[in-house]
Structure 1
Amino acid sequence: MTFRHHLGQMALRTLAEFPEESVPEIYVVTFHVDSVDQDPRYPYLAIGYNTETEVARLLAETGETEPWEARWNYAYFPPSGLEGIRIVGHHPDHDPVGADLHRREAIAQGLWYEDEDDLSEEEQDGRDEQLAEQFDELCVGLARQLHADGELVGVLGRPLPVILYNMFDPDKMFALTRAANPPELVTEFLGEDPEAQQQA
C-alpha cells in the first residue's frame, strides 16, 4: 500500500466517524496540516469539521467577532475543526502505519535523513521543503479525490468545501484551498484572500 492510498482510506474512515447528529449542521470539512514538533519529516493531517451551531454560538458569545472570522478562521474553531476527529500521516502515536509508509517512501526518494546524518543545514532545509511540498500536494489531491468520487456527498448528503490550514505556512491556506475544491464551494472563504483582493 502506498502512503497516498493509506491517507485515502483513513480519510474515508474519518468521514464515517463524524457524529450523525452533527451532519446536518456541518458546513465545512477541515484539513489541518501540521507536523510533529514542527519537523517536516513528520507531517500529519487532522481531519475534522465545523458546524453552523458552533458559529452561531461563537457570534452570540463574543458579540465582536466578525462573521467571516467566526466561520472560517481556524483560530476560532472548536476541537472538532482544529484538532480534528482523527490524525493521519507520519504521526507514530496516532497513525503508526502511516508513519512507516511515509518514512519508507521518503527514504526511497532520498529525502529522509536522521539528525546524526552528516548533512549541511542547506541540505536539510532542501529536503524539509520537498517533504512539506509533497505532503501539501497529497492533501490537496485527497480533497479533490473526495469531491470527484462523491464521498463527501455520500457521507454528508451535499457538496461541502474542504478547507486546508497549513501550519507549516499559514499564508498558503487560500492557495491550497482553491486548488482542492470546485470554485463554487469556496467563494465565501476566498473572499478574504489578500492575493485575490490585490488583483481585483
Structure 2
Amino acid sequence: MTFRQHMRQTAASALAEFPSGPESGLYTVTFRIDSVDQDPRFPYLALGYNTEHEVARLLAEQASTEPWDARWNYAYFPPSGLEGVRIIGHDEEHDPRGAELHRREAHADGLWYEDDDPEHLQDERAELLDTRFHELCVDLARQLHADGDLVRALGRPVPVVLYDMFAPDEMFALTRAANPPELVVDFLSGEPAEPGA
C-alpha cells in the first residue's frame, strides 16, 4: 500500500463516523493541513467537519461575528472542524501506519533529511515535502468527491475546506482546486479581491 492509498482509505472510513443526513446539519468537511512540531517531515491531515448548529450557536453568542466568518473561517471552527476527528498522515501517535509509509516513500524519493544535513538541503527538501503533501490533500478531496465517498457517507455533496494555519493565504486556492465549483461559491465569496482589481 502506498501513502496516498492509505490516506484515501483512512479518510473514506473516517467519513463513515461523521454525523449524516440532513438533520445533522453538517455542511462542510474540513482538512486542516499541519505537521508534528511544524516539521515538514511529519505532515498530517486533521479531518473534521462543521455543522449549521455550530454556526447558529456562534452567531447567537457573538453577535459581532460576521456570518461568512462563522461559517467558513477556521478561526471560528469548533473542535470538530479545527482539531478534526481523525488524524491521518505522518503522526506516530495517531497514525503509525501512515507515518511508516510516508517515511519510507520520502526516503525512496530522496526527500528525507536529517537534522545534521546542510541547511540549504533541509530547506529545499522541506519545501518539496510541504508542496507534495498539500497537493496530496487536494487530490484526496477531489477523489472523495469523484468516487462518491462524501455523498455515500453524508447523504449529499458538501464542500471540503482545506486550510493550513501557517499559510492562511493558500486556503482559497486549495479549496477551489479541491472541489466542484458549485460547492464552493459561498466559501469563495469571502476571498479577498486581488490588489488593483
TM-score normalised by L of structure 1: 0.94
Q: Give 1:13 deviation, angstroms.
A: 1.3
Aligned residues: percent identity? 69
| Aligned Cα root-mean-square deviation (Å) | 1.5
Q: Identify if the C-alpha distance between structure 1 residues 153 and 76 changes in structure 2 by more than 3 Å, giving closer, same or farther.
A: same
Post-superposition Cα deviations, 1:144-172, rounded to whole Å, max 9, x if no partner, equal 00000111111111110000011341211
Amino acid at match of 2:145: H
Match of 1:69 in 2: 69
Aligned residues: 197
Post-superposition Cα deviations, 1:19-41, rounded to whole Å, max 9, x if no partner, equal 35886300000000000000010
Match of 1:86 in 2: 86
C-alpha contact 1:24 1:156 (8 A) present in aligned 2: no
Match of 1:135 in 2: 133
User: Which secondary structure state, in structure 1, belongs to the residue aligned with residue 150 of structure 2?
Assistant: helix
Amino acid at match of 2:133: F
Unpaired runs of at least 5, structure 2: none
Give the 4+ runs in structure 1 shifted more than 2 A: 19-24, 196-200
Amino acid at match of 2:68: W
User: Which secondary structure state, in structure 2, belongs to the residue aligned with residue 10 of structure 1?
Assistant: helix
User: Which secondary structure state, in structure 2, belongs to the residue aligned with residue 171 of structure 1?
Assistant: helix
Match of 2:176 in 1: 178
Aligned equivalents of 1:71 and 1:192: distance in 2? 10
User: Residue 188 in 1 paired to residue 197 in 2?
Assistant: no
Unpaired runs of at least 5, structure 1: none
Amino acid at match of 2:8: G
Match of 2:120 in 1: 122
Q: Give 1:113 deviation, angstroms.
A: 1.1
User: Which secondary structure state, in structure 2, belongs to the residue aligned with residue 160 of structure 1?
Assistant: coil
Amino acid at match of 2:165: M
Q: Give 1:192 deviation, angstroms.
A: 1.7
Match of 1:24 in 2: 24
Match of 2:42 in 1: 42
Aligned equivalents of 1:114 and 1:28: distance in 2? 38
Q: Identify if the C-alpha distance between structure 1 residues 23 and 152 changes in structure 2 by more than 3 Å, giving closer, same or farther.
A: farther
Amino acid at match of 2:119: E
Q: Identify if the C-alpha distance between structure 1 residues 146 and 23 changes in structure 2 by more than 3 Å, giving closer, same or farther.
A: farther
Q: Give 1:198 deviation, angstroms.
A: 4.5
Match of 1:52 in 2: 52
Aligned equivalents of 2:82 and 2:185: distance in 1? 21
Post-superposition Cα deviations, 1:45-93, rounded to whole Å, max 9, x if no partner, equal 0001000000000000011000000000111111100100100000000
Amino acid at match of 2:139: G
Match of 1:109 in 2: 109
User: Which secondary structure state, in structure 2, belongs to the residue aligned with residue 94 of structure 1?
Assistant: coil
Amino acid at match of 2:134: D
